[in-house]
Amino acid sequence: MLEVVEFDADEGEITLLMGPNGVGKTILLSCLAGGLRASEGDISVLGDHPEATKERLSFMLQDTMLVDELTGRENVAFFRDLHPRSTDGVESVLDRLDFEVDALGQEVRDYSGGMKRKLELAISLNVDAPLFLLDEPTAALDMTTVETLHSLLAARRDAGETIILSSHLPGDADLADRIVVLTEDGVSAVGSPEDLLAEVPPVVLVEGPGDVSESVRDGRLFEGEIHRRGFLRADRDPEAVTDNTDGTAIQVRDPSYTDMFNYYVHLRGNQ
């Protein structure tokens, strides 16, 4: 259940709803699309109630759109008939996403996860609408395709379209004009990627068994493939932290978008 969620998404911008899985990003998008009703509060979409704007938006709901028993081409036709603003641009989008058009003749049940996501995206973007709501659009895509999708969405934003997407992948922060960080307690931060990143403390990277809990905020370290990562306390000197004699390699670095995610979700979000 979502509580205390309040933010504005400006027209002609890309707004990213960022947060861990299960926090309610999909529920929020469904409320914006008019598929679910909020039990409290007010939602305005394109200046109107969500139920009155359904024909002026396109909504991609992750992993629930496609009909497995139909071919890709039959799915395209099915959804084209459902939306009054559908266009004939599906194959053009699929081509940009490096989807083999011949696969449209296969049943969707035989598609990989990445193929399904590409078809969902092509169908959802195949609409002449001012607003697009995309639920986890980069999930299951390889990095090359993610970059291509980012380019596609940025071009649509530059053409004046408004895009609200959800993600738990820090790499999607590069695409956004505005990020809304969601936690179980509600919104923990709102701002541009640059502004949010600038507020994140320096990051302590630890490789080895050394104990640096007294030097990082909340005494918490996040596990990584090589390093453990924490956020430097404001009262700690970076040079003193890295001056270690027990064989542990310690560095203090500028934060990345992954660090930004950890900070606002797991530390700032719990304060």
Show Cβ contacts of residue 40 under 8 Å, excluding neighbours closer than 6 positions.
none
Question: From CA 138, how far away is CA 20, in angstroms rounded?
Answer: 14
Structural domain count of the chain:
2
The answer as to whether 259 is a domain residue is no
Q: What CATH number is given to the structural domain containing 130?
A: 3.40.50.300
Tokens for 239, please give them.
């040079």
SS3 state of residue 217: helix
pLDDT value for 117: 96
Q: Are the CB atoms for 56 and 130 separated by under 8 Å?
A: yes
Q: What is the distance between the alpha carbons of residues 155 and 175, in angstroms, rounded to a whole number?
A: 11
The DSSP annotation for 22-55 comes to: TSSHHHHHHHHHTSS--SSS---BTTB-GGG-GG
Predicted confidence band at 39 (pLDDT cuts at 50, 70, 90)?
Answer: confident
Q: Are 50 and 57 in contact (CB under 8 A)?
A: no
Rounded to whole angstroms, how far apart are CA atoms 45 and 27? Answer: 15
Torsion of CA 49, 54, 60, 63, to 10 degrees: 90
Q: What is the mean pLDDT of residues 22-34?
A: 92
Q: What is the mean pLDDT of the chain?
A: 92
Q: Are residues 108 and 234 in the same domain?
A: no
128 shares a domain with 82: yes
Q: Are residues 176 and 248 in the same domain?
A: no
**What was the pLDDT predicted at 244?**
66
Predicted confidence band at 29 (pLDDT cuts at 50, 70, 90)? very high
Beta bridge partner(s), residue 189: 181
> Confidence band (pLDDT; 50, 70, 90) for 2?
low
* pLDDT, tens digit, 9 for 90 and up, residues 233-260: 999 999 888 876 577 899 999 999 999 9
Residue 119: CB partners within 8 Å, gap ≥ 6?
A: 66, 72, 75, 76, 94, 99, 108, 111
pTM value is 0.91
Let me know if residue 3 belongs to a domain. no
